[in-house]
């Protein structure tokens, strides 16, 4: 199978700056979305650092790991440590952080590493499912059976994340491995997209425009903007052909 990809980011309808960052690095089979947070430009700095540092890690010829999961987790932890150190050294960047979803997409496998509430969805046979679990306060309640998924969607603390890069010296990275099939599409996105579009809306757009990934990215973002666009919106699509 051949792996193809496209990505797009948009400031949205309300924000003045874009604190989302993304990277397409097909030479490393590597794709990243990061959603920054922090005062002034700190969120933008954190998300850009995450993308650059993870890519830098995979560019190094000195890195050897026993498994791809270990390598991906170490790359994300490398970014976390560097972002945290930058925030400690510069008062203007103090407390900055970022979510991240990172995918290694090869013809025989897809490996996902993530921290925070940016998401990865798999579109397969005209059906879409979420592959990641939000590291958020309300999702922890859902996992423990204290909230239903429907109640979580309306909860006033929905946007409070429980895990992020840069906010502490170390971070726990969660990974997911899947075997792809011809026709599969992966969607990596920031919560500016996932908070606005239902699973059914995402699935409909991916089904209707799947033959042109650039057009599909644009359609997803425009739909999120139509529904308010209060946040920055970023999408990467990875297709298996």
SS3 percent helix, strand, coil of the chain, rounded to 5, is: 35, 30, 35
Half-sphere exposure of 160 (CA within 13 A, CB side): 9
Q: Structure pTM?
A: 0.94
pLDDT for position 136? 87
pLDDT in tens, 43-93: 999 999 999 999 999 998 777 767 889 999 999 999 999 999 999 999 999
The mean pLDDT of 145-164, rounded to a whole number, is: 82
Show the tokens assigned to 145. Answer: 């059976």
Beta-bridged to residue 30, according to DSSP, are: 25, 104
pLDDT for position 128? 97
pLDDT for position 22? 98
Residues above pLDDT 70, as percent of the chain: 98
Question: Inter-axis angle of helices 68-89 and 42-59, to 10 degrees?
Answer: 140
Helix (H, G, I), strand (E, B) or coil at 6: strand
pLDDT for position 211? 83
Tell me which residue range forms the domain holding 164: 3-240
The mean pLDDT of 209-238, rounded to a whole number, is: 95
pLDDT in tens, 157-186: 777 889 999 999 999 999 999 999 999 999
**pLDDT at 221 exceeding the cut of 70:** yes
Residue written as token pair 């005062």:
39
pLDDT in tens, 96-108: 999 999 999 999 9
**pLDDT at 41 exceeding the cut of 80:** no
pLDDT tier at 40, thresholds 50, 70, 90: low
| Residue count (the chain) | 241
| Ordered alpha helix ranges (H), 90-180 | 137-143, 149-154
Q: How many of the other CB atoms lie within 10 Å of CB of 168?
A: 12
Give how far Cα 56 sits from Cα of 52, 82, 93, 116, 124, Å: 6, 12, 21, 21, 31
CATH number at residue 101: 3.60.40.10
Question: How many structural domains comprise the chain?
Answer: 1
CA–chain centroid gap for 42, Å, is 18
The mean pLDDT of 204-209, rounded to a whole number, is: 92
């Amino acid at each position: 199978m051949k792996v193809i990809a496209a990505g797009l980011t948009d400031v949205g309808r309300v924000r003045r700056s874009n604190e989302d960052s993304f990277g397409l690095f097909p030479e490393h089979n590597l794709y990243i979305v990061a959603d920054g947070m922090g005062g002034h430009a700190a969120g933008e700095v954190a998300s850009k650092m995450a993308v650059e540092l993870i890519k830098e890690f995979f560019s190094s010829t000195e890195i050897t790991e026993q498994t791809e999961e270990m390598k991906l987790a170490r790359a994300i932890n490398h970014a976390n440590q560097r972002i945290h150190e930058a925030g400690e050294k510069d008062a203007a960047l103090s407390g900055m952080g970022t979510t991240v979803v990172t995918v290694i997409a090869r013809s025989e496998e897809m490996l996902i590493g993530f921290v925070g509430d940016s998401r990865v969805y798999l579109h397969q046979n005209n059906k879409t499912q979420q592959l990641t679990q939000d590291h958020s306060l309300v999702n922890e309640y859902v996992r423990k059976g204290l909230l239903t998924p429907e109640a979580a969607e309306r909860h006033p603390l929905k946007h409070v994340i429980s895990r992020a890069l840069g906010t502490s010296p170390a971070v726990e990275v969660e990974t997911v491995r899947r075997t792809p099939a011809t026709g599969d599409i992966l969607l990596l996105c920031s919560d500016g997209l996932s908070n606005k579009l239902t699973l059914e809306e995402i699935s409909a757009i991916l089904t209707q425009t799947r033959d042109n990934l650039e057009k599909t990215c644009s359609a997803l973002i425009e739909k999120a903007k139509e529904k308010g666009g209060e946040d920055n919106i970023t999408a990467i699509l990875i297709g298996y052909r």
